[in-house]
């Protein structure tokens, strides 16, 4: 699975980055984070193209960051619960899933643009 560094546009030089695994095939998107244990801090899984997520077979709560094709954040859902959670954003092109609390800890907010760089 491909991995990228993600920066928030306009962040100061030397600001921490996120590590993002990229699920860009049907089977990688289908599996998502199912059956995995908790993700490390400042790590996410990018599902693209994707505009909704379910929490079936999940072991932990997640934050869901919805983005358009330019990777502008258009919606953030915090603390989506395992097994019972479901979320969608009809205008989204991509979704980044992170361990619950990570979106806030990393300072992500609606309106920010994420800049990606291959590792």
Q: Using one digit for the tens of pLDDT, what is the confidence trace for 61-106?
A: 999 999 999 999 999 999 999 998 899 999 999 999 999 999 998 8
pLDDT at residue 70, rounded to an integer: 96
Give the position of tokens 């193209």.
49
pLDDT at residue 35, rounded to an integer: 78
pLDDT at residue 100, rounded to an integer: 95
CA dihedral 19, 64, 72, 17 (to 10 degrees): -20
Angle at 51 between CA 7 and CA 48, to 5 degrees: 55
DSSP state of 105: H
Give the position of tokens 């244990």.
37
Average pLDDT for the chain = 90
- What are the chain's domains? 2-118 (2.60.120.1140)
pLDDT at 16 over 80: no
pLDDT at residue 114, rounded to an integer: 94
* Backbone torsions φ then ψ of 32, nearest 5 degrees: 50, -130
């Amino acid at each position: 699975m491909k991995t990228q560094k993600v920066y928030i546009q306009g962040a100061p030089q030397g600001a921490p980055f996120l590590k993002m695994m990229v699920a860009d095939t049907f089977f990688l998107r289908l599996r998502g984070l199912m059956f995995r244990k908790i993700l490390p801090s400042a790590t996410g899984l990018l599902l693209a193209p994707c505009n909704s997520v379910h929490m079936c077979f999940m072991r932990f709560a997640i934050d869901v960051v919805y983005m358009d094709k330019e990777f502008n954040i258009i919606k953030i859902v915090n603390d989506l619960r395992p097994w019972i959670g479901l979320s969608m954003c009809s205008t989204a092109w991509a979704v980044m899933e992170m361990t619950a609390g990570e979106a806030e800890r990393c300072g992500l907010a609606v309106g920010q643009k994420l800049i990606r760089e291959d590792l």
